[in-house]
Structure 1
Amino acid sequence: MYVAADIGVAVGTARKWLDQGHCPSGPAYDAMIATYGAAFLCAIRPDEAGWWHRVARAERQAALEARAEAIEQQLASLRGAR
């Protein structure tokens, strides 16, 4: 249900991919990549060293840096309230 809602396909279509081994169409793959990022490509092709592994790492790094910045701001706010 969540995959179907995330990428805009029928639940039955997503169920065929996941439960029955059917392959998504090209536009469906595009929608999954756009929705889930390079990590999706890494998950479906874990043994291939493609460009998507570098992109997934960069995405993960950016997310962690954003979280670290948010934590630093919260800490600064708390330190200033002393």
Structure 2
Amino acid sequence: MAAADWTHANIEKTKKPTHSLVALSWQYSNEGLIKINTDRCRKGDDGRVAVGGVLRDSSGQWMRGFAVNLGVGQVLEVEL
């Protein structure tokens, strides 16, 4: 409710939204399936890149996690 109040107040002042808030949460997979969630990062100073993630079963239980240092690269390379 607070997010809606903030957005409404800003629209009234500026007549256009300046930001939008979105609530994100993990969604369960179908029964018998495994879901993988990943994220990547790149350090801007020297270009080091890494990726990590977690595998979860259909009840949300963590099965295995991982983290990998990929060396030096670009954001697009890490995304791929």
Bigger strand share: 2
Which category of TM-score, normalised to the shorter sequence, fits these structures? under 0.3
* Structure of higher RCO (CA pairs closer than 8 Å, 6+ residues apart): 2
* Structure with the largest fraction of helix: 1
